[in-house]
Amino acid sequence: MSVVPHDPDVLGEAEAVGDVDPEANDRDEFHMEEMLREWTDEPPIRHDVYPESENEENDDEPGRFDTHVRRGDGHLYSKQSFFSGVAFKEAVVDYALRTGCNLKQYRYDSDKIGFKCVGNDGKEDGARCEWQVYAAILPKDQMWKIRKFIDKHSCIPNGECEMFKVPHIARLFVDKIRDNPEFYMPAKIEEIILEQWKISVTRNQCQSARKKALQWIEKEYDDQFARLRDYAAEIVDSNKESHVEVDCLTTDDGKDIFNRFYVCFDSLRRTWKDSCRPLIGIDGCFLKNKVKGQLLVALGRDANNRIYPIAWGVVKVENTDNWVWFVKLLKEDLGLSNGEGFIMMSDRQKGLIKAVQLELPNIEHRMCVQHIYGNLKKTHGSKTRIKPLLWNLAWAYNEKDFKQHLEKIFCYDSVIYNDVMKTNPKSWSRAFQKVGSFCEDVDNNSVESFNGSLNKAREKPFVAMLETIRRMAMVRIAKRSVESHTHTGACTPYVAKFLAGEHKLASTAKVSTSTNGMYEVRHGSDYHRVDLKAYTCTCRKWQICGIPCEHAYGVILYKKLEPENFVCQWFRTAMWKRNYTDGVCPQRGPKFWPESHRPRVHVPESPEGEDNKMTKAEKKRKKGLNESPSKKQPKAKKRIMHCRVCGQADHNSRHHAKDKASHFVSQPSQPEPSQGSLTQA
């Protein structure tokens, strides 16, 4: 329908020629107002609300299907529908929690359930509460429906509720216990119930409810482990091009027993190859859940010299075969080839050393000084100066300093010197590190610290542990992305901290100029040659660290130059931003995992038998040679007491002291010989 515009000039001209009817214009204005009113009264867009219908019965019942959409509001009404009797019971529980009334079930039939209020039962006046609700399912109606509802209370809530039993408490706290099992202990659960719902429960009820909730959670996690291949499919579906391996062993009866697991997210792999130094730290740590084994991790370093996760996996035991498997997958994902130009930092685990030799023969494999010091301390625990001597040897940046510190160790103790030489100190001293990697690490503390942050995760069930590690990596990258992209300096905060440590010596340096951008720097009796154009110093610290040493920094201060211009590209803010541009994508829960239709994965049997189980105290430390065994062992195996006086068993030296004292007490007094002779005379 076309609408004629209401223009007075046009209208007057039209009336003059007799083409427009004034009543027609009034009708057009009326239609325009009706259209505007319809647009103004347009119904709002509603979500999760069933549309109204004229030909459906019982549409006058308010919220007829609200229970199917969301539960837990604690409201009941006549003719309310439920899919099952369990849903009806849960609705009554919600009502009891909301009102605090003492409800009790009085009808238990398979097709009929009823509850009543017993708040006034047992009182002397005999007045009983009239509240009652009754639901049933009829043959003609396949839905449970409230058939009778008397919503009238004559009682006052007193904190008692007979229907609030252990399963109901468990359902209320199962999600909270799953997230924080150590916090929600029986006493805390009892306190929360009384504070939030004004219902009094016993400590034993809360303890049983917590135990039942843990059983439900364990069953849930067991099902997730059985669907480990579906979890791997979810990783690939959420993070395209990621590499996931689920290795199983098939038994004679056709069961797939878990053997190994590996994951490397594509975003982490690409970021490390594109913007991280060619350094990989590798280590393993024990798992503390039902699936026993070792968690293997591989970490890099970002532009701020902080850890960057690359890949992780789980194996049943830390041996050569499993390390070869892990290193081989890491080699393929990161494109390490034969290892030329890359650095690996690890402890002296024999299986790992063999695996690196087989798969990455040309890699620079640095040994962790912390582990070497720990082994030497076990043998030479009484030598207190071994620690500074060993670390100074590791921190030597050039061969001359290395030899001087090695000579100090020889002068201190020749036996310690021989043990140090057996560890091949050239494999863990900075003096023999290849130039160009710009990483001066001599220990694997970064990986150890990452494993320490996973202590709580390693106690969780298998899939929950893997999800915790993934989520930690995702959140870590997101937080550091904000930190790096809001940083304004030319270099990362690590550079500022490094140069601050060099400033004191640099400011006292004596600088002598030369040609071709070269300078002579003196600290005391030491002289060094610094080349600002080549970014080198004869102490080799600048070449190894990538940041000006105290000698180069002294020249920079002398020339009044900007020290950031002499820092290598790995520590610049632009590189830091590239480290944290891409991150791990969030994943979906088990409900939405893709179904791979592969066989279920079963938990491997524990290598420890029932006879080899140890107590927590025995696992914590090893007992001494002469230490008494556990009290639970037979008496025949206990240490037998021996006397240090006579060497016999079953008594100590105090036994002889008692015998000696009793001897003197029981001995009668005798006259002296001289007295006897006088009497006889």
Amino acid found at 605: E
Query: Which sign does the torsion angle of CA 277, 282, 287, 293 carry?
Result: positive
418-433 per-position pLDDT tens digit? 999 999 999 899 999 9
- In this structure, of 286-295, 402-411, 449-458, 621-630, the range with the lowest mean pLDDT score is 621-630
pLDDT above 80 (res 49): no
Instruction: Specify the pLDDT at position 18.
Output: 47
Strand partners, 510: 522
- In this structure, of 42-46, 452-456, 505-509, the range with the lowest mean pLDDT score is 42-46
Instruction: Specify the pLDDT at position 343.
Output: 93
Residues 676/665, Cβ–Cβ less than 8 Å: no
- DSSP string for 2-47: ------HHHHHHHHHHT---HHHHHHHHHHHHHHHHHHHTPPPP-S
Give the list of residues 6+ apart from residue 235 with CB closer than 8 angstroms, or none: 242, 244, 263, 265, 587
Q: Which residue has the tokens 């008494």?
A: 628
Amino acid found at 175: D
DSSP state, residue 67: H
428-449 per-position pLDDT tens digit? 999 999 888 898 989 888 888 8
Using 50, 70 and 90 to split pLDDT, how confident is the model at 61?
Answer: very low
536-537/294-301 β-pairing = unpaired
What is the side-by-side order of every strand in the sheet holding 510-513? 510-513, 518-523, 526-531, 536-537
pLDDT above 80 (res 122): no
The residue among 666 and 447 whose pLDDT is bigger is 447
239-257 per-position pLDDT tens digit? 999 999 999 999 999 899 9
Query: Which sign does the torsion angle of CA 390, 391, 394, 399 carry?
Result: negative
* Rounded average pLDDT over 466-475: 95
Instruction: Specify the pLDDT at position 448.
Output: 85
Instruction: Specify the pLDDT at position 293.
Output: 92
Closest of 364, 330, 368, 390 to residue 447, by C-alpha: 368
Closest of 603, 587, 616, 550 to residue 240, by C-alpha: 587
Give the list of residues 6+ apart from residue 240 with CB closer than 8 angstroms, or none: 266
Residues 275, 494: Cα–Cα separation, whole Å: 16
Instruction: Specify the pLDDT at position 384.
Output: 85
Mean pLDDT of the chain: 83
Instruction: Specify the pLDDT at position 9.
Output: 46
Instruction: Specify the pLDDT at position 283.
Output: 92
pLDDT above 70 (res 48): no
pLDDT above 50 (res 545): yes
DSSP state, residue 282: E
Closest of 592, 554, 549, 585 to residue 567, by C-alpha: 549
Instruction: Specify the pLDDT at position 471.
Output: 95
343-346/103-108 β-pairing = unpaired
* Rounded average pLDDT over 308-327: 95
pLDDT above 50 (res 517): yes
Give the list of residues 6+ apart from residue 313 with CB closer than 8 angstroms, or none: 245, 260, 261, 262, 263, 295, 296, 326, 329
Using 50, 70 and 90 to split pLDDT, how confident is the model at 497?
Answer: very high
Domain ranges of the chain: 8-40, 66-164, 174-226, 229-477, 491-571
- In this structure, of 31-35, 325-329, 439-443, 512-516, the range with the lowest mean pLDDT score is 31-35
pLDDT above 50 (res 26): yes
* Rounded average pLDDT over 372-379: 90
CATH of 66-164, one of 3.40.50, 2.60.120, 3.30.160, 3.30.460: 3.30.160
Neighbours of 364 (CB within 10 A): 20
* Rounded average pLDDT over 441-461: 88
Closest of 523, 278, 277, 343 to residue 537, by C-alpha: 523
Instruction: Specify the pLDDT at position 418.
Output: 94
Using 50, 70 and 90 to split pLDDT, how confident is the model at 456?
Answer: confident
* Rounded average pLDDT over 264-278: 96
Percent of the chain past pLDDT 70, that is, above it, reads 79
* Rounded average pLDDT over 299-319: 94
